[in-house]
Amino acid sequence: MITLFKCYKPLISIRSKSPREMITLFKCYKPLIPIRTSLISRSRRLIHTHHHKISVAGDKYSDNRTRVRGFSSIGQSQPSVNEKTCKIIDGGGAERESSSELWLYNTMSKQKEAFRPKVAGKVGMYVCGVTAYDLSHIGHARVYVCFDVLYRYLKHLGYEVNYVRNFTDVDDKIITRANELGEDPISLSRRYCEEFHQDMGYLRCLPPSVEPRVSEHIPQIIDMIKQILDNDCAYIIDGDVYFSVDKFSEYGRLSGRKLEDNRAGERVAVDSRKKNSADFALWKSAKEGEPFWESPWGPGRPGWHIECSAMSTAYLGYSFDIHGGGMDLIFPHHENEIAQSCAACNKSNVSLWIHNGFVTIDSEKMSKSLGNFFTIRQVIDLYHPLALRLFLIGTHYRSPINYSDVQLEKASDRVFYIYQTLHDCEYILSQHAEVNRKDSIPTNVISCISKFNDEVLSSMLDDLHTPVALSALSDPLKIINDLLHTRKGKKQELRIESLAALEKTIGNLLSILGLMPRSYFEVLQQLREKALKRAKLSEDQVLKKIEERNIARTNKEYEKSDTIRRDLAAIGIALMDSPEGTSWRPAVPLALQEQSPGAT
């Protein structure tokens, strides 16, 4: 038995000094906010919310963190997870028993399993990144938003997470695209890596702990290929190195597929020199016009699959907790990763293989190869990035999600409602000094918060069921609006204390889901601007229409007044009359509402 743990330790073990967003709520496996009479007293710290912000200046992915790091210690004020006692230890050292465990679906076992990390309190997670040769589409967005939610939730539970997400910057597609443009392949890939960073910033995805690139890890890749050859699981032909699938008896265990299911066109090259048609390249000999590196087998470059095995081992070791990616990577990519990692070290083991479902258009998978894709940039040109994020987590991560304008309109309408409610609440709270508030809230608000926390807790612990968590927002949002706008609500005892408790409760969930904006007002303005762009109107034009309608109403020309309202509603501009006058807000266009009458 030969192991390579020493060879593949992290290259550099240093902690990031840059600000990082960390959301830590009061309890790990208990309701998000404990219901006590002193709930609202921030000085007593019943609710712990840490705001270590990621800098997204001007909606750009701006991050000055150290790019390479190992595990960093958890700060004293953050809770930690003690697996031995199954208790939560908060910042003050007090222990609280957990009521449940996090369950995640394991593609390998085809069932949900209780998540128990290999090292108590720490999680090693590797997610396959993009092949950087073009702008990313919303299929990519779904992958990285899904795993961003998992990353955030693991951190919320108190785990110290080493999240590794790679860039493939050496690949056939990159070389082809670079040759078409007359550009250096590495330079082209570097440019699209930065474009990807911008997209992740728009979508409020936290940066991972480390983002290794293939071009920067050639020595580690060569070392792993050497080990596979030494263990007689690969062979050399004319400077190419192929993995021999016949030498790995468990090949196909992850996907449940047989060797003959390997198909050309799925990065399984057709080559008559191979011993088995399913054998795949670990190293490709150099060809004219391609980047290459020196190796024991001659100049060349790595095959696709070996990079993730080598880089995950470099930063997480051969044995770690979570390996993830899109469902399309199950076969052959992740199947091949397992084979080559086990061939290099028989102690190789990943506890959980997690995969998200496809984004579809007309029930067909969205992909660049099919040409039926929308880039993230195309979508957020018309819809706010947070509306896209809400759309992506509004369906369970393992289920397919069908992209359509009506679904994006509904998501946009929903985020506008959420942020308008919270903005109004924030405004009222700003007019009442915190020091004057009482340390109690009414029983109906306590009941609402308790029910909300129970629903969020059970849904998130059950394989990150984000749609259920999002639906739980309805009741607390309704109570806030009643307290803000109804005659009865405005007279309710402890109204301000209730608003503060509800706003904090909702904000905690939004932070966990990556939906907490820096400013409610800023996002509301951006949502209005996007709605105007979709309607192909300026705000001045809308205000002019409102004035025309006001004149028509004054003149009792009600048919004309109704026509103006209907015409604006048809293109997603809803008019709202109040004693203070008429205002407008974005809404789902009437034509799209009619396409989906059962929509929520």
- Residue by residue, pLDDT tens for the chain (600 residues) are 333 333 333 333 333 333 333 333 332 333 333 333 222 233 322 223 333 333 333 333 343 333 333 322 223 333 444 443 333 333 333 343 445 899 999 999 999 999 999 999 999 999 999 999 999 999 999 999 999 999 999 999 999 999 999 999 999 999 999 999 999 999 999 999 999 999 999 999 999 999 999 999 999 999 999 999 999 999 999 999 999 999 999 999 999 987 766 554 454 567 788 999 999 999 999 999 899 999 999 999 999 999 999 999 999 999 999 999 999 999 999 999 999 999 999 999 999 999 999 999 877 777 766 778 899 999 999 999 999 999 999 999 999 999 999 999 999 999 999 999 999 999 999 999 886 788 899 999 999 999 999 999 999 999 999 999 999 999 999 999 999 999 999 999 999 999 999 999 999 999 999 999 999 999 999 999 999 999 999 999 999 999 999 999 999 999 999 999 999 999 999 999 999 999 999 999 998 887 764 443
Closest to 600 (Cα-Cα) out of 475, 363, 419, 413 = 413
Find the helix or strand (DSSP H, E) in which 155 lies. helix 138-156
194, 467, 484, 498, 503 from 513: Cα distances, Å: 24, 11, 25, 23, 15
- pLDDT for residue 596: 60
CB 212 within 8 A of CB 315: yes
pLDDT at residue 68, as a whole number: 31
What tokens were used for 130?
């993009």
**Preceding peptide of 332 cis, ω within 30°:** yes
**DSSP category for residue 245:** G
Scan for tokens 């570097």, then name that residue.
190
Dihedral sign (CA 459, 463, 467, 470):
positive
CA geometry: angle at 371 spanning 368 and 377, to 5°?
A: 65
Q: Is the previous residue joined to 586 through a cis bond, with omega within 30 degrees of 0? A: no
Which H or E run includes 532? helix 520-535
* pLDDT tens string 437-459: 888 999 999 999 999 999 999 99
Instruction: List phi, psi (to 5°) of 448.
Output: -65, -45
